[in-house]
């Protein structure tokens, strides 16, 4: 039995060494490359990573390119400027999956300024903010725990013209729509979950085992596009936000969101840069970093120590008399 285990262990070790050598031949032997290969090997993920690197299956998330965000009640500045490039990206033949998200709000949605009087404000917050409340203010509603919400103009109401995807855009026949923000009591910036981190739209299950990474474009960079990119990273899907195919509400909040995206391990790029990166170490490292980040988030830094101990004990057992 021990000889069989040893034989299998040595075969696996040899296979990992072959992959490591191929990776070093392709990307070089810098300390960064060697460190990533070592960390992936410890976790038994080297083969999975190498498969993703060599067989890219990117997905595209087109976020909220709806009439109300382009020419309607909540038009994002310069939103029309990205439509031509967005169509070029949508038409790229190498995306494995393409999703269009849509805000799909009921008329009594909590994010609408017009509905402010429908719900009680948090009394402690109101005591500190006694003045008039205006459109675009952030308020806190009374609930447990209290719920913060920016107040927007009515937008993307279900079945309205404003909720439709802009008519200049053509869907691929295999594109899938993801509807978000349907719960009247909570907003949903991300195409994955609502703003409380729940309210799963189903996008995670449609993507998780079918793509190696996602590209995120649309409106608005500082809200729905950025939030979707961050949530993709959180669930272990390497995500890149394309700034040339997205627009934001304000420069200040865009800058803050792009910093957050990168803090969560996401990439910020442009369409030409992303295409040029497909065969580079930058993309390979992004995939590896996302895999390792998710592992460390789930198991904690102490996991590295236990992996080393288990590996050492296994080797000692296999080679002992």
Residue 29 vs residues 24, 118, 277: alpha-carbon distances, Å: 5, 62, 19
Q: In what helix (H) or strand (E) does residue 79 lie, and over which residues does it extend?
A: none
Q: Which of 186, 119, 182, 118 is nearest to 148 (CA)?
A: 186
DSSP assigned state of 249: S
Burial string for 123-162 (b: 16+ CB within 10 Å, else e) reads eeeeeeeeeeeeeeeebbbeeeeebebebbebbbbeebeb
Distance CA 261, CA 229 (A): 7
- Joined together, the tokens standing for residue 185 give 């009591």
Marked catalytic residue, from 122, 180, 194, 267: 180
Active site residue 224: yes
Active site residue 180: yes
CB neighbour class for 260 (10 Å; exposed up to 12, middle 13-18, buried from 19): middle
End-to-end Cα distance, the chain? 13
Q: Which of 191, 121, 103, 187 is nearest to 150 (CA)?
A: 187
CB neighbour class for 300 (10 Å; exposed up to 12, middle 13-18, buried from 19): exposed
Asked if 242 contacts 218 with a C-beta cutoff of 8 angstroms, the reply is no
Marked catalytic residue, from 224, 231, 234, 267: 224
Tokens 């709806």, residue? 66
Active site residues: 64, 180, 224
């Amino acid at each position: 039995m021990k000889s069989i285990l040893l034989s299998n262990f040595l075969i696996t070790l040899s296979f990992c060494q072959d992959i490591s050598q191929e990776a070093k031949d392709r990307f070089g032997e810098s300390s960064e490359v060697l460190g990533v290969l070592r960390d992936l090997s410890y976790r038994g993920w080297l083969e999975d990573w190498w498969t993703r690197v060599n067989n890219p299956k990117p997905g595209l998330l087109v976020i909220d390119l709806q009439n109300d965000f382009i020419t309607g009640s909540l038009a994002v500045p310069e939103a029309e400027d990205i439509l031509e490039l967005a169509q070029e990206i949508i038409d790229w033949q190498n995306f494995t999956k393409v999703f269009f998200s849509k805000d799909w709000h009921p008329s009594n949605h909590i994010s609408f300024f017009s509905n402010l009087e429908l719900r009680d404000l948090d009394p402690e917050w109101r005591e500190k903010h006694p003045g008039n409340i205006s459109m675009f203010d952030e308020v806190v509603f009374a609930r447990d725990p209290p719920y913060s919400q920016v107040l927007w103009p009515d937008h993307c109401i279900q079945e309205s013209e404003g909720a439709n995807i802009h008519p200049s855009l053509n869907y691929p026949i295999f594109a899938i729509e993801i509807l978000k923000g349907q719960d009247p009591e909570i907003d949903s910036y991300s195409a994955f979950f609502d703003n409380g981190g729940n309210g799963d739209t189903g996008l995670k299950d449609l993507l998780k085992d079918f793509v190696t990474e996602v590209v995120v474009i649309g409106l608005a960079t500082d809200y729905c596009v950025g939030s979707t990119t961050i949530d993709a990273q959180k669930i272990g899907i390497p995500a890149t936000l394309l700034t040339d195919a997205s627009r934001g509400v304000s420069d200040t909040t865009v800058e803050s969101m792009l910093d957050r995206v990168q803090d969560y391990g996401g990439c910020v790029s442009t369409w030409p840069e992303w295409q040029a990166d497909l065969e580079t170490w930058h993309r390979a490292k992004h995939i590896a970093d996302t895999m390792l980040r998710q592992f460390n988030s789930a198991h904690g830094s102490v996991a590295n120590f236990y992996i080393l101990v288990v590996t050492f004990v296994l080797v000692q057992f296999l080679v002992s008399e």
